[in-house]
Amino acid sequence: MLIHGIILAGGAGRRMGGADKALLPLGGRSLLAHVVDRFAPQVDGLALSANGDAARFAGFGLPVLPDETSLGPLSGILAGLRHARMQGATAVVSVPCDSPFLPGDLVPQLCLAAETTPSGLALVQAGGRDQGVFGLWSVGLTGALADFLASGAKPKITDFAAAQGAARAIYASDAAFRNLNTREDLAAAEALLGGAI
């Protein structure tokens, strides 16, 4: 199995005052740099889902994939699937750009879960809640996802996942999956960097 990763950085960052969350500093480095460090060793290729001027990410050396139509994270996942399929990958694992503590066993755990369902789709469930932006998506889902986004329905990851019979990779705690959505979240993460992550 050849697995590519897609880092979702297409959000508007409204709760951060419209800031580009991927580039916000944490411990002297950008959030995106932290995510790349933890995620890149787990996948065979990596790309970034982002809209706007791709040049702002030039220092990362990653392909930057814009949404065809901006309908939330599923649009970024679809762009990632299309790119990965052209590269010969069999699946894509998606993560958000604002989760700098993602676990080192994310991809293996998602792979194990995905083996239990014909669709090859698995999401993380952590602390008893679905963390839908963390998922493994078979490239065979590309057409179904494109149709789902074109259907006019409000595109929710959990709705698409339910229709595909998605499996779950279960984590007891959600600490590694926390999203940094506000300045307060960012400050709390700064404090965490001084201790065990």
Could you say which DSSP state residue 31 is in?
H
- pTM as predicted: 0.91
Residue 196 has a pLDDT of 44
Distance from C-alpha of 134 to C-alpha of 126, rounded to nearest angstrom: 10
- In our burial notation (b when 16+ CB lie closer than 10 A, e otherwise), range 49-86 reads bbbeeeeebeebebbbbebeeebbbbbbbbbbbbbbbe
Instruction: Write the pLDDT tens digit of every residue in 89-133.
Output: 999 999 999 999 999 999 999 999 999 999 999 999 999 999 999
CB atoms within 10 A of CB 12: 12
Task: Quickly list DSSP for 76-134.
Answer: HHHHHHHHHHHTT-SEEEEEETT-TT--TTHHHHHHHHHTTSTT--EEEEETTEEEEEE
Total tally of structural domains belonging to the chain: 1
Find the domain containing 8 and state its range: 3-193
Alpha-carbon distance 195 to 184, whole Å? 18
- Tell me the pLDDT band of 152, cut-offs 50, 70 and 90: confident
Cα–Cα distance measured from residue 18 to residue 136, given in angstroms and rounded to the nearest whole number: 29
Residues above pLDDT 90, as percent of the chain: 73
Say which CATH number the domain at 137 has: 3.90.550.10
Q: Which of 119, 123, 115 lies closest to 145 in space, CA to CA?
A: 119
Residue 197's pLDDT is 46
Query: Is the pLDDT higher at 38 or at 182?
Result: 38
The string of pLDDT tens digits covering residues 43-84 is 999 999 999 899 999 999 999 999 988 889 999 999 999 999
